[in-house]
Structure 1
Amino acid sequence: MRDLFSSARKTGFGVALGAAFGLLAFGQSAQAANPLELNFWLTGPKYEGRLRTCEAALGTITAEFQEKESTYWNSRLTITAYGKIHEIAYRPWQSDNIPRRYCAGDVMLSDGKVRPVYFSLIEDGSFAGYDQGIEWCVKGLDRNWAYNPSCTGARP
């Protein structure tokens, strides 16, 4: 009795496999794209490398830091002052990559501690590529580990 069922399973599997291959054999073959389907209107990004200075990002970093701390971490920390803001690198990789300006400096927080901050300005890096984007990390306060360890993901 046992051999009867195992042979029926094998036969059923073979029939199903044969039917699948048969359907694939009679399908339509692939065709090349016609001229309207080609991507000749898509010219691609034209990066000009015009990025704002490091100081232009400080207001955005202050606002986003305060929002992140109060919303996600239930903290009253805010950035009260900046110091030693300087550029670390500009387009550190190949010239055809998305232009970025990497900056660093110190921030004074409302708790009285001074911590390093690393950030980058990215051409067409904001929502939908509308404006320049800013990525930043305050060392020691990267609580969701987005740029861990020690904000190395925010540096070149």
Structure 2
Amino acid sequence: MSATRKFVRLLATAAAAALTVSVAAEGRAANLFELNFWLSGPRYDAVVPLCEESWPLLQIQKAFAEKERRFWNSDLAIVGFERVHEVKFMPWASGTIPRRFCTGRVLTSDGKARTINYSVAENTGFAGASSDVEWCVVGLDRNWAYNPACKMARP
């Protein structure tokens, strides 16, 4: 038997075994292997960081400073957050990616306070292995990704 044929047979056996495991485990959340390779469809735990937790706020702070520096040649940075609160949690149909929508105010290094809208979503980070944050600071959406006035960053 050729090496290619052996490899194909091994690959088919592994795929069948993974499918059997995923079908047998209908009541559990997907493991890391299933999440990364999308073998049996999405199964979410709805475990999403809260709006006020430090992790999403630090992610926004870092990403904002990097975006300003790399794309707008600006030293503008977020120096603080205030009045951060949840707007909606999982506002869409059942089975969609769990998201927590938040809003608040950011204090920027130019001394201004601006509104920020952001969402934290489960399993949307690198390779689907972690949560991720999407954000928009009203008045600083220079590439109009969430135009008009960051409306597209809200539910």
TM-score over 0.5 for the pair: yes
Corresponding residue for 1:45? 42
Provide the C-alpha distance between the structure 1 equivalents of 2:125 and 2:81, rounded to a whole number of angstroms.
23
Letter of the 1:85 partner, please give it: V
Map 1:71-150 onto structure 2 (within 5 A): 71-150=70-149
Provide the C-alpha distance between the structure 2 equivalents of 1:43 and 1:130, rounded to a whole number of angstroms.
16
Of the two structures, which has the highest relative contact order with CA contacts closer than 8 Å and spacing of 6 or more? 2
Letter of the 1:87 partner, please give it: E
Structure 1 residue 107, shift from structure 2 partner: 0.3
Letter of the 1:76 partner, please give it: D
Letter of the 1:116 partner, please give it: T
Provide the C-alpha distance between the structure 2 equivalents of 1:127 and 1:143, rounded to a whole number of angstroms.
25
Letter of the 1:105 partner, please give it: G
Corresponding residue for 1:68? 67
Structure 1 residue 144, shift from structure 2 partner: 0.7
Q: Which runs of 4+ in 1 moved over 3 A?
A: 35-38
TM-score under structure 1 length normalisation: 0.73
When Rg is computed on C-alpha atoms for both structures, the one with the higher figure is 1
Structure 1 residue 84, shift from structure 2 partner: 0.2
Structure 1 residue 55, shift from structure 2 partner: 2.0
In structure 2, list runs of 5 or more residues that go unmatched. 1-11, 20-38
TM-score under structure 2 length normalisation: 0.74
Structure 1 residue 95, shift from structure 2 partner: 1.7
Number of matched residues?
121
Provide the C-alpha distance between the structure 2 equivalents of 1:98 and 1:73, rounded to a whole number of angstroms.
32
